[in-house]
Amino acid sequence: MKPPLFTAGVDWSENLNDVAVVDRSGEVVARARVEESPEGVKQLLRLLAGLRSSHRHSRKQVPIGIESTRSLLVEGLRAAGQTVIAINPTVVDHYRGQLTPTKRKSDKGDAALLADILRTHGHRHRSLPENSESAEAVAVLVRAHWQAQRTRQYQYNRLRSLLREYHPAALTAWADLPGRLLRPEARAVLRLAPTPSSAARLTIRQLRRTLAEAGRTRLLDQHADRLHTLFRATVLRRRPGVEEAMGVQALACLDMLDLACATVDALAERIEDAFLRHPQAKIYLSFPGVGVLTGARLLAEIGDDPLRFADARGLRAYAGAAPLTWASSTSTSVTHRRIANLRLKATGHTWAFATLTRSLGCRAHYDRRREQGDRYAAALRHLFGRLLGCLHRCLAREELYDEQVAFPARRPDALEG
């Protein structure tokens, strides 16, 4: 297949974007600097349309390579029907090292380099997927939720580290309960008594009322008695003035943790609304171990472009669930893929683990992999790959998950063999 007559590259920046166009011989035939604005998009499209004065030439025949995929310039080009191909910055840096050992970098040079990559190896790079608007909205919310969870964990670690320095009883009070300091009741009690001295003055009635207002409905008296005894125990203490100051710092950390927790909960609600409105939501939810959040994360990373993955093998490789073979001379090794969509890979690990108690077929598949010598993570990764194959088939055929099709019953003679 012949390469296109022209290929373009855009070196994206916050203000002006450098554009370069090369022909089949690699010669730069056009350059420009455009703004990230409607007029900038029109200027770039006029440049591509004027490359050749022929009725057979169309600007849509010129693919554009760019490193950033989330800029408004990319959105404007795709809305105009232009083919945009995302090239990983690491790949660009590798090509730059092939051209010059010093890896000299400039905006104009990078634009020409991106265009040249498409000229020589354009068949190895794919255009951006054509996901629907609803799928992209789910992806935005899911990734915001990922970030909010990271922020929540960071604020949790800050608060825990601070309490360890002056109020260790607050760490042990909820250490055996899910969520620990993230529990609403834990944060409510800490806000009421952020220091050991104020916690020791709490009465059982105050503790019981605070637990009830925070949402606890079971074993209120037992937990109030337990906390009352724990907070009144003799422990090492800071000097009163220092302890009071650290209590003020803890309240500040608690304010940020409360905000982070509220953000995570609010985004989870918005994700549920957006995901359940998507037409493929029923297919995702039909799989064992897939709830609303897991299904939304899968949809966000896989998308709903039917042409993105030609077969399940490509999807498994993208998710890091397909093995990677290294062969050199007489040595061969098979390892798991470290370069993959890490968010999808992490979601797959959680999904595969959840299926072990919800699907007999998944459990049997996992047990077989363990008996064959796979370790825990490898067995879950193989199960995730099997589930992705089933998911690809169901999405392509618009069918719900069927346990008998995904994991057909094995014949006794096959088991003996």
Q: Using the predicted structure, report yes or no on whether residue 379 has a pLDDT greater than 50.
A: yes
What per-residue confidence (pLDDT) applies to 96? Answer: 83
Dist. CA 105–CA 120, nearest whole Å: 20
Cβ-proximal residues to 27 (8 Å cutoff; 6+ apart), any chain: none
Residue 217, number of CB atoms within 10 A of its CB: 7
> Across-strand partners of 21?
8, 30
Of 398, 371, 393, nearest in space to 382 by CA: 371
Q: Using the predicted structure, report yes or no on whether residue 304 has a pLDDT greater than 80.
A: yes
Q: Are residues 316 and 373 in the same domain?
A: yes
DSSP 8-state secondary structure symbol assigned to residue 289: T
Q: Are residues 21 and 97 in the same domain?
A: yes
Cβ(384)–Cβ(301) below 8 Å: no
Evaluate whether residue 131 is within a structural domain: no
What is the average per-residue pLDDT within 370-387?
95
Q: Are residues 241 and 152 in the same domain?
A: yes
What per-residue confidence (pLDDT) applies to 102? Answer: 66
pTM above 0.75, yes or no: yes
Residue 263, CB-side half-sphere exposure with 13 Å CA sphere: 20
Evaluate whether residue 13 is within a structural domain: yes
In this predicted model, what pLDDT tens digit does every residue of 68-86 receive, in sequence order? 888 899 999 999 999 999 9
Residue 146, number of CB atoms within 10 A of its CB: 16
Exposure string (b/e) for 63-89, b if CB count within 10 Å is 16 or more?
bbbbbeeebebbebbbeeebbbbbbee
Proportion of the chain above pLDDT 70, given as a percent: 97
Which of 209, 239, 274 represents a domain boundary (last residue)? 274
- Report residue 402: phi and psi, to 5°: -130, 115
What is the average per-residue pLDDT within 176-193?
95
In this predicted model, what pLDDT tens digit does every residue of 314-356 receive, in sequence order? 999 999 998 888 787 777 877 888 888 999 999 999 999 999 9
Question: What CA–CA distances, in Å, run from 221 to 161, 177, 224, 237?
Answer: 29, 16, 5, 28
Evaluate whether residue 129 is within a structural domain: no
Q: Are residues 246 and 323 in the same domain?
A: no
Count of structural domains, the chain? 3
- Which residue in this structure is represented by tokens 């809305």? 79
What per-residue confidence (pLDDT) applies to 69? Answer: 82
Cβ-proximal residues to 327 (8 Å cutoff; 6+ apart), any chain: 333
Q: Are residues 105 and 68 in the same domain?
A: yes
Dist. CA 280–CA 36, nearest whole Å: 34
Dist. CA 324–CA 184, nearest whole Å: 44
Q: Using the predicted structure, report yes or no on whether residue 233 has a pLDDT greater than 50.
A: yes
Evaluate whether residue 1 is within a structural domain: no
What value, to the nearest 5°, has the Cα angle with vertex 60 and ends 57 and 66?
Answer: 130
Evaluate whether residue 145 is within a structural domain: yes
Q: Using the predicted structure, report yes or no on whether residue 266 has a pLDDT greater than 70.
A: yes
Q: Are residues 260 and 185 in the same domain?
A: yes
Cβ(287)–Cβ(389) below 8 Å: no
Q: Are residues 223 and 298 in the same domain?
A: no
Evaluate whether residue 189 is within a structural domain: yes
The range of the structural domain enclosing residue 165 comes to: 137-274
- Which residue in this structure is represented by tokens 């990230």? 36
What is the average per-residue pLDDT within 43-55?
90
What is the average per-residue pLDDT within 160-170?
95
In this predicted model, what pLDDT tens digit does every residue of 192-232 receive, in sequence order? 999 999 999 999 999 999 999 999 999 999 999 999 999 99
Q: Using the predicted structure, report yes or no on whether residue 415 has a pLDDT greater than 50.
A: no
AA identity, residue 403: E
Dist. CA 385–CA 344, nearest whole Å: 12
Dist. CA 370–CA 312, nearest whole Å: 23
Comparing 109-113, 122-126, 161-165, the range with the smallest average pLDDT is 122-126
Q: Are residues 177 and 256 in the same domain?
A: yes
What value, to the nearest 5°, has the Cα angle with vertex 12 and ends 344 and 143?
Answer: 25
Output the average pLDDT for the chain.
Answer: 92
Of 56, 8, 49, nearest in space to 29 by CA: 8
Q: Are residues 210 and 304 in the same domain?
A: no
Which of 257, 274, 291 represents a domain boundary (last residue)? 274
| CA 354, 356, 358, 363 torsion-angle sign | positive
Helix (H, G, I), strand (E, B) or coil at 333: strand
Cβ(321)–Cβ(381) below 8 Å: yes
Q: Are residues 302 and 270 in the same domain?
A: no
Tokens of 231: 């907070």
Dist. CA 119–CA 207, nearest whole Å: 70
Which of 94, 124, 154 represents a domain boundary (last residue)? 124
